[in-house]
Structure 1
Amino acid sequence: MVTTRLAESRDHDDAVAVWRAANIARGRPPEAARVDRVRAKLVEPDAVVIVAVASGRVRGMLLAEPGRDGDGQGPKVAGLCHISMVFVHPGRQGNGIGRLLLERLRAHVTAQGGTRLQVWTGSGNDRARRLYRRAGFAPSGRVAFLSGRPIEQFVLEL
């Protein structure tokens, strides 16, 4: 059985380990500086970190933060929550953990008075695109480039 909950500080190392393992599995092993940036993001005051736990071990993680105007560079936008990352341990992918993480975030954001979720994902990341569509997200039509790769925005009105 998998449960989800808001992460506690003791979960952060395990959340980073899941993120790291998933990136290694997709052929993108993160450099030490990137690992440090992710660790720093998890402890930011506005960060919402959710973990999925099975058999006492963190198997999935989600990081969200307040949405900002100007593609993340401007002031916070009231009611907007930006999903920065959703990762599931490679050995547990395809078992609904990503959906559970998104459901927990949706409930949390709604309870806080949030009105919209947004996420950017690689245009070629079919697994993530399916996950967001199944969770009720729709493409906004916005496409950008990150590290030379096209990314696509998905949104969900709450």
Structure 2
Amino acid sequence: MDALVRPMTDADCEAVGRLRTDGWRAAYAGLMPRAYLDALDPAEDAALRRRILAAAPPSVVDAVAEQAGEVRGWACWGPLREDAGPGSSEGSRDAELYALYVRPERIGTGLGHLLLSDCLERCAAAGYPRLRLWVVAGNTRARRFYEQAGFRPDGSEQTDPVGGEPVTEVRYGLRLG
């Protein structure tokens, strides 16, 4: 595959905003309210990405997968954002994969694996004992992707409202190193 993973820059925010909103619409069709997904605005998401990128501490990594000069994937990871919950070891300092999206028409081409491999390598090199992530419970494609990479549900679930409807997420974990 002729693709590279590189740090995300401010100039990538528009492409990532489009990629993320298109990714939500494709991945969560039938899992989240259609009106909510239809209302997602790539320009608003790009502005949010720009603010988050500018304010991110050095421990948070935003990376893009570039192919043929275009951003076709994006991942973001860093320290676990909350208490590690079930299955964690006392005092562990786990990492969390906050997001991983590939252009919907590029799913299955290896770009997701490329981004995930970069994340796993960099988290292990940073000394994180485990990588965790949240997946919408009904997103069987994503769950299969992470399970094939060795991730397993760790017993934590959360349900939050999205567009007025409850959406349940399952947390997965993978021991590094």
Q: Give the structure-2-normalised TM-score.
A: 0.76
Paired position in structure 2 for 1:108: 122
- Aligned match of 2:150 in 136, 141, 152? 136
Aligned counterparts, 1:3-152, within 5 A? 3-26=4-27, 27=29, 28-29=37-38, 30-31=40-41, 35=45, 36-43=47-54, 44-45=56-57, 46-70=59-83, 79-147=93-161, 148-152=166-170
- Structure whose CA Rg is larger: 2
Moved over 3 A (4+): 24-27, 31-34, 36-39, 68-71
Q: What SS does the aligned partner of 2:94 have?
A: strand
For residues 26 and 151 of structure 2, the distance between their equivalents in structure 1, rounded to whole angstroms, comes to 26
Q: What SS does the aligned partner of 1:99 have?
A: helix
Read off the aligned partner of 1:63 and give its amino acid letter.
C
Whether the 8 Å contact between 1:41 and 1:47 is mirrored in structure 2 is no
Tell me how large the CA RMSD over aligned residues is. Answer: 2.4
Identity %: 29
Whether the 8 Å contact between 1:42 and 1:63 is mirrored in structure 2 is no
Read off the aligned partner of 1:9 and give its amino acid letter.
D
> C-alpha displacement at 1:57, in angstroms?
0.6
- Most deviating of 94-103 and 34-43: 34-43
**Unpaired segments of 5 or more residues in structure 2?**
30-36, 85-90
- Most deviating of 49-58 and 6-15: 6-15
- Most deviating of 37-46 and 143-152: 37-46
Whether the 8 Å contact between 1:5 and 1:104 is mirrored in structure 2 is no
Q: What SS does the aligned partner of 1:59 have?
A: strand
Read off the aligned partner of 2:53 and give its amino acid letter.
L
> C-alpha displacement at 1:41, in angstroms?
2.7
**Unpaired segments of 5 or more residues in structure 1?**
72-76
Whether the 8 Å contact between 2:95 and 2:132 is mirrored in structure 1 is yes
Q: Give the structure-1-normalised TM-score.
A: 0.84
Read off the aligned partner of 1:66 and give its amino acid letter.
P
Residues 103-151 of structure 1 deviation map (CA, whole Å, 9 limit, x = unaligned): 0001111121222111011110011101111121111121211221111
Aligned residues: 154
For residues 93 and 7 of structure 2, the distance between their equivalents in structure 1, rounded to whole angstroms, comes to 19
Work out which structure has the larger RCO, using CA pairs closer than 8 Å and 6 or more positions apart in sequence: 2
Task: Name the structure where strand makes up a greater proportion of residues.
Answer: 1
Residues 65-120 of structure 1 deviation map (CA, whole Å, 9 limit, x = unaligned): 2113337xxxxx76311111111111111212111111000111112122211101
